[in-house]
Amino acid sequence: SQQGEEDPQALSIQEGENATMNCSYKTSINNLQWYRQNSGRGLVHLILIRSNEREKHSGRLRVTLDTSKKSSSLLITASRAADTASYFCATAPFGGNKLVFGAGTILRVKS
Amino acid sequence: NAGVTQTPKFQVLKTGQSMTLQCAQDMNHEYMSWYRQDPGMGLRLIHYSVGAGITDQGEVPNGYNVSRSTTEDFPLRLLSAAPSQTSVYFCASSYSGERGARYEQYFGPGTRLTVT
């Protein structure tokens, strides 16, 4: 069974708008990671947030983590057509060594 | 560095055939893993390894075997291919063996497998 569940499944926005994707998970975690996958390619790591962190920034990316609600969000500000991709959250469960991925959010940025 | 490489890129098999998907990394990473990706289901962990000689099962290990004789290579063997194994397969690696899942994963480009 999957640990992380992304919401929405698909998102379509105009260039310049912000995109927000959410991830929920079920068990205690060591950290949560976000990845991007362009069509037909492998996944690329975007950002990692540890369980004792609440917010992290990297360029136009902002990730929040709420361990009490077992949820995370990824915000992409001022989106560009090149941001069109699938975005996945992945959780490293506390005490385990298996990274578990969610089903992903498909983001389309229209120019 | 080439990073994580996978061969072949595409493969078509008939039901019952066996084959090996190759994965290699040149970053001296201890942790390596295999995932399969199916539409609408994200990535599911097949097998993983925390170092040479050590492997363990993931979420969907049935029908697959792995071995890890060197740090660099982590091949995935399909014993008797079935249509349900039609998927895209990704290999990944990261720093640290025992806690490898807690670190950034470096993914290969994938192998698209079709079983008829």
Instruction: Identify the burial level of B56 via C-beta atoms within 10 angstroms of its C-beta, where 0-12 means exposed, 13-18 middle and 19 or more buried.
Output: middle
Strand pairing report for B31-37 and B87-94? antiparallel
Lowest mean pLDDT among A82-86, B32-36, B98-102: B98-102
Answer yes or no: do A35 and B105 touch at CB < 8 A. Answer: yes
Answer yes or no: do A99 and B101 touch at CB < 8 A. Answer: yes
- Cα–Cα distance for residue pair B114/B86, rounded to 1 Å: 5
Question: What residues make up the domain containing A27?
Answer: 5-110
Residue A97: predicted pLDDT: 85
Of the candidates A52, A83, A45, A87, the residue with the CA atom closest to the CA atom of residue A67: A52
A&B contacts, CB < 8 Å: 65
Q: What is the CATH number of the domain that holds A103?
A: 2.60.40.10
Query: Least CB-CB distance to B42: which of A2, A41, A98?
Result: A2
Closest Cα of chain A to B54: distance in Å? Answer: 13
Closest Cα of chain B to A102: distance in Å? Answer: 5
- Look up tokens 């994963």; give the residue: B105
Closest Cα of chain A to B17: distance in Å? Answer: 25
Q: How many domains does chain A have?
A: 1
Residue B99: predicted pLDDT: 80
Alpha helix stretches (DSSP H) within A1-111? none
Of the candidates B111, B114, B112, the residue with the CA atom closest to the CA atom of residue B4: B111
* pLDDT above 70 as % of chain A: 96
Interface of A with B in 50-89 (CB under 8 A): 88
Per-residue pLDDT tens for B29-49?
999 999 999 987 789 999 999
* pLDDT above 90 as % of chain A: 86
Please say whether the beta carbons of B79 and B63 come within 8 A. Answer: yes
Please say whether the beta carbons of A86 and A64 come within 8 A. Answer: no
